[in-house]
Structures are given as structure tokens and as C-alpha cells.
Amino acid sequence: MPLVSRILVPVEFSPRCRGAVQYAAAIACHLHCEIALLHVVMPFSNVYGSPEGIALAGDADVTTGWVAQTRADLETFMGEELKGLSVTREVLEGDPAPAIADYSAAGKFGLIVMPTHGYGPFRRFLLGSVTAKVLHDAPCPVWTGPHMEQAPDRTSIRFRKVFSAIDLGPDSRAVLGWAAGFAREFGAALTIVYAIPDFFGGIYFDAEWRTEVAKNARAQISSLAAELPIHAEVSIETGDVPAAVSGAAQQGNADVMVIGRGRAPAVLGRLRTNAYAILRESPCPVVTV
């Protein structure tokens, strides 16, 4: 079974979104899979309070015209860059986050690629909310990151070093398995990162305690790697968890970081705490599994 057979890219026509498409195209070209571009038109009734929403709300003709124009824009969006790939394009009306999650589930997509921020006249409603909700609700891994607008052309994108930050909690097997599968597909080196905080829950951990935790973590990681089975370097970091993980990725010239969603509390914490911070600070794209 292929790692990914269909990739969904939510489109809002921003430079960040164009970068997301470049990453999706690079993956799709290598894996010979389909890309679906999706734009969700938010109903004006959802954005009362903004000058744009007040001016246009309730005007069915304007809504219809806007949807028609959006369809036309999407049909030509990055046409040259996506030549040679299997691409579908869809415009839906609704609340963006649940629409994206529902569409990805119905279409059995294996990966969603999207930027971390929204764009356009309703930007203040999208910043930090749409991506956060998709990360929480999507049934498949989500590829995102804070520097999407800096993505090179798809032909220049390479995945040589894959880093996977795990917490040895319930998500770790799935996270590491996905990272290993991606690394194998692209012939990349895999590094497992485990971060030990200096300070947690009001308690400062001394050096002796951290040494013991690092020893136990290496043993558990070795056992997990043998079970999967995979071969990977192991990097044990200490300090502030997001900074430690991001620092390891930067120092190791990581091309992509794979982390868990943080559904259960563990050393890396929940998605809304450390995982969000990792997404914001990471020097490379981040995949949440």
C-alpha cells in the first residue's frame, strides 16, 4: 500500500498557499499520486462584524458571482507549475475547517498540505483557526509550516533528512512509522528526536534525573525501532521542548519534521501547547500524524 495516494491542498491564493502547492507537487511527482486543489468560500453570514461582511452579506447575486469568479481563478491557479500531474479542482461553500476535514475524509486523502495562516478580506477570522481545526479534525496527516512562501520550485525540493520528534506516548508508533515510510520513499536519512524539559509542572529537573530519563528513553526508542523495524539516528535534547526540537532540526538541516497530534499528555505535551509551538518555530515543514 502506498504511503500517500491522494494529496489535498486547501487553496486561498496566498504566497504561502503557492508554496504549499510546490511541496505537494514535489511529493506527488515522486509518489505518482493525485493532487486535489480545494477552495472553500466562507458564507458572508459567518463574517458579520467585518466591513466586507456587512457590505456584502445577504446579497445572493454577489455571492454567486464571487463563487463563479473563484472557480475561474482556481482553474488557472498554478497551471504551469502543476503540468504533468493529475490535478482536480473543487470549490465548496461553507465553514472552511470542517469543510476541509470532511472533504479529506470523503475523498480518502492520505495527506493534507496547507499553510499555517489564512489570507484575504477575512484574514482575521482565519489566522490560527482554520489550520488549527484541520490539524485537530483531519483524518489523515497534515503537512504545514510557517515558511511556505519560501518554498522553492517543486523540481528543486529535496527530502534528504527526515526528523521525527516523539514523546514515547500512544502516538509515537504511528508518528515514527509514517516518518520512516516517508524517509524510505525518498531515500532520506531518519533521525528520531526526544526532548527532555528542564522545567515541567512547576518542578525543575536536575542533571542526574535528566541523565536517567535520557538513558530510559534511548532504551525505549531502540525497542520501538526494532519492532517497526527501522534504522535511525537518535538525538536526545534537553531544555524548552519546542526550542529543543526546532534547534535539533535546524542544526541537523532537516528537510521535514514529523510529530504527533498530542492527543494524550506526555513529555511533548498536547497539540495546543508544545506542538503548536513546534509548528511556529520549526525551520522546515512539519507533518502532524
CATH of residue 219:
3.40.50.620
Per residue in 221-275, pLDDT (tens digit) is 999 999 999 999 999 999 889 999 999 999 999 999 999 986 544 444 444 568 8
At 191 the pLDDT is 98
If asked whether residues 18 and 135 sit together in one domain, one would say yes
137 shares its domain with 173: no
Tell me, yes or no, whether 251 lies in a domain.
Answer: yes
* Domains: count for the chain: 2
Cβ(194)–Cβ(222) below 8 Å: no
> What range does the domain containing 117 cover?
6-150
In this structure, are 144 and 227 located in the same domain?
no
| pTM for the model | 0.87
pLDDT score of 125 more than 90: no
Last residue of a domain, one of 130, 150, 170: 150
Q: Is residue 238 part of a domain?
A: yes
Residue 229 lies inside a defined structural domain of this protein: yes
**Within-domain flag for 166:** yes
- Same domain (yes/no): 163, 129: no
Same domain, 112 and 186: no
Looking at the structure, tell me whether residues 166 and 221 fall in a common domain. Answer: yes
Check whether residue 145 and residue 192 sit in a common domain: no
Residue 186 and residue 167 in one domain? yes
- 127, 150, 173 - which closes a domain: 150
The predicted-structure confidence for 192-219, as pLDDT tens digits, reads as follows 999 998 765 556 667 788 889 899 999 9
Residue 66 counted as domain residue = yes
Q: Which residues of 13-36 are buried (b: 16+ CB within 10 A; e: fewer)?
A: ebebbbbbbbbbbbbbbebebbbb
CA angle 277, 280, 283 (to 5 degrees): 115
What is the distance between the alpha carbons of residues 232 and 81, in angstroms, rounded to a whole number? 34
Task: For residue 194, give the H/E element and its range.
Answer: strand 189-196
User: Is 256 in the same domain as 166?
Assistant: yes
Q: Which three cell numbers stand for residue 167?
A: 514523546
Same-domain status, 109 and 178: no
What local confidence, expressed as pLDDT, does residue 256 receive? Answer: 98
Query: Does residue 1 lie in a domain region?
Result: no
**Confidence at 38, pLDDT banded by 50, 70, 90:** very high
Domain check: are 142 and 163 in the same one? no
Mean pLDDT of 124-147: 80
Task: Please tell me the predicted confidence (pLDDT) of residue 20.
Answer: 96
Structure confidence at residue 117 (pLDDT): 66
Predicted confidence (pLDDT) at residue 151 exceeds the cutoff of 80: yes
Mean pLDDT, all residues of the chain: 86
